[in-house]
């Protein structure tokens, strides 16, 4: 099923240790209204653009369209997870963005490490089956 300009789009921001892990999710979203629009990580060079709360806030407030989904990676620390979710919640409150969603893989790891199906299942549960074209 092809998406039309009337279909909603759900921009995703992800945070993980390595950028390439989050980037590998792109094929999962083919044929869906979900798009990876920014990936923050802890290893990016130069170090000035790596994840930190201020950099994340700049990314969130400047993306267009505005992010709707935030995914925290399973390999980042609990402290960083909670800190980044606080930044996300501040963004949601201040931007007044509606229908947002967080997938926290650190505190809610996928069964058997099946993160792809876990993420798609969680998106389907939150946004409904009409937002998904394939089976999970």
pLDDT in tens, 81-106: 999 999 999 999 999 999 999 999 99
Secondary element (H or E) of residue 12: strand 10-16
- Using the structure block, give the residue that is written with the tokens 């921009």: 11
Measured CA to CA, the distance from residue 13 to residue 8 in angstroms comes to 16
pTM, two decimals, is 0.89
pLDDT digits (tens, 9 = 90+) for 40-96: 999 989 999 999 999 999 999 999 999 999 999 999 999 999 999 999 999 999 999
For the cut 70, the answer to whether the pLDDT of residue 15 exceeds it is yes
């Amino acid at each position: 099923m092809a998406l039309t300009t009337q279909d909603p789009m759900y921009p995703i921001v992800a945070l993980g240790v390595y950028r390439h892990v989050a980037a590998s999710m792109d094929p999962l979203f083919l044929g869906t209204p979900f798009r990876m629009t920014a990936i923050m990580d802890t290893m990016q060079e130069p170090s000035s653009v790596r994840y930190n709360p201020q950099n994340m806030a700049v990314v969130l407030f400047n993306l267009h369209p505005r992010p709707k989904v935030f995914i925290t990676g399973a390999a980042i620390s609990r402290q960083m997870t909670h800190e980044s979710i606080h930044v996300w919640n501040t963004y949601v409150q201040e931007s007044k963005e509606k229908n947002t969603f967080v997938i926290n893989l650190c505190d809610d790891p996928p069964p058997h490490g099946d993160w792809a199906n876990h993420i798609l299942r969680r998106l389907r549960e939150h946004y409904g089956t009409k937002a998904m074209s394939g089976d999970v």
